[in-house]
Structure 1
Amino acid sequence: MKHLRTVNDVMTHAVISIDRATAFKDIVEALRMWNVSALPVRAQDGQVVGVVSEADVLLKPQSPDTAHDTTAEQLMTRPATTVTKDATIPTAARLMARGHLKRLPVVDGDGRLVGVVSRGDLLKVFLRPDEDIGAEIRELIMYQLIPHGYAEVRVHVANGIAYLDGSLPDPAMEDVVVRAAGTVPGVIDVKADFTVPVSA
């Protein structure tokens, strides 16, 4: 069962990038050929130093006499907004929303480019089969939150909505279980109907 929790789980690992010296014509050709909206610019050590987007190309018009001398160094937006490969999917989504970005370069702990994540990649979590989501919720509840044998929790997921029922040993556990289930990627909403044993 694949747990889609981090950027590394959904990103594109094969990534097209350019260096500072890449010429204007080659940038335009790469954007067209690979059908992408932006290209990360890498330094010699692999670190991301900027991004050249379609907007950078279109909003910085070049005359026929100077276009051949224009490079990625002159066009790129810097510093680049990047996300680490171990960042959570919601973290990447917030960065994209804040910067009105369609794609983010993904870097390792040293800032070196390891992939690219797009809005479409982040939406993959909502395409998970309900069975996978339910299995992950059961694993989370029964093996991490509640000692085995002290609760009977039934989980059913339909169209991304998690339905939880059964019995819990403590009324205070219901809020913990519901919040935990809501963190599982692909869950849209959680509906709970638990009973708590009455003390003798």
Structure 2
Amino acid sequence: MKRRTVEDVMTTEVVTVAEDTPFAEIADALAEHRIGAVPVVDDGGRVAGVVTEADLLRKEEFKPDDTGERPLRGRHRHHALAKARAVDARGLMSAPAVTVRPEATVAQAARLLASRGFKAAPVVDESGALRGIVARRDLLTVFHRSDDDIRDEIVYDVLVSRLWQDPSEVHVEVHEGVVRLSGRMELKSLVPIVVRMTAATEGVVDVVNDLAYEHDDTRPTAYPRA
């Protein structure tokens, strides 16, 4: 079962800045290219950090108010204040950057972005050199598959190649990514396996399980007493 990787969906043309890039140039780059973040690369092309729109907005957040006083700061706002005083990418960036490898699966990248609350992440090789960037919208391309394509993979890859099931016994219907499994399996224990592998197929939105079975092999066998 082929899984698309980050390398398959990432954007390779990446807007970057150097560590000494001034604040105003970074703001201009984000506005010009309509992006929310930009990787910071060192002289060797390795990702040193990331500057986001939120990092730039710290300067506005910590400006003095009309009375000349700064807004109150909590104990967790030390780094935010440091960013507000920064004048270049070195002071603005979050480091080390949260990155992803090109060979990571789309699912792994999606979990990373979701767990960190990020919209995108730089893609780096084993040396830390920038290879591209992957955004949430890139990861959603796994759902751009036709229903026929999804059905063919489930039938020929999941049922026939991996589980050695007779495709005439299991009926697979796909409508807008939702898969309905019906028919009959020989063993009850195979039913959740088929459902799980079907759900793992790229492009599947949901699985409706209407499968029956011939034999219940999940119940303990009773042996006669000696």
- The amino acid of 2:110's aligned partner reads A
Q: Which residue of 1 aligns with 2:90?
A: 73
1: CA distance, partners of 2:195 / 2:50: 40
Q: Which residue of 2 aligns with 1:178?
A: 195
Counterpart secondary structure, 1:168: strand
Point out 4+ residue stretches in structure 1 off by more than 4 angstroms: 148-151
Question: Contact between 2:160 and 2:167, CA under 8 Å: does it hold in 1?
Answer: no
Q: Which residue of 1 aligns with 2:157?
A: 140
Question: Contact between 1:4 and 1:125, CA under 8 Å: does it hold in 2?
Answer: no
Structure 2: segments with no counterpart, 5+ residues: 64-85, 216-226
* Correspondence 1:60-99 to 2 at 5 A: 60=59, 70-99=87-116
Identity, % of aligned positions:
40
Question: Contact between 2:6 and 2:102, CA under 8 Å: does it hold in 1?
Answer: yes
Counterpart secondary structure, 2:103: coil
The offset of 1:104, in angstroms, is: 0.9
Q: Deviations over 1:66-94 (max 9, x none)?
A: xxx92211111111111112222232222
| Normalised TM-score (structure 2) | 0.74
Counterpart secondary structure, 1:133: helix
Q: Which residue of 1 aligns with 2:14?
A: 15
The offset of 1:111, in angstroms, is: 2.1
Q: Is the alpha carbon distance of 1:93 and 1:149 closer, same or farther for their aligned partners in structure 2, counting shifts above 3 Å? A: closer
2: CA distance, partners of 1:197 / 1:99: 46
* Correspondence 1:177-196 to 2 at 5 A: 177-196=194-213
User: Please, which of 143, 156, 170 is the counterpart of residue 126 of structure 1?
Assistant: 143
1: CA distance, partners of 2:45 / 2:156: 39
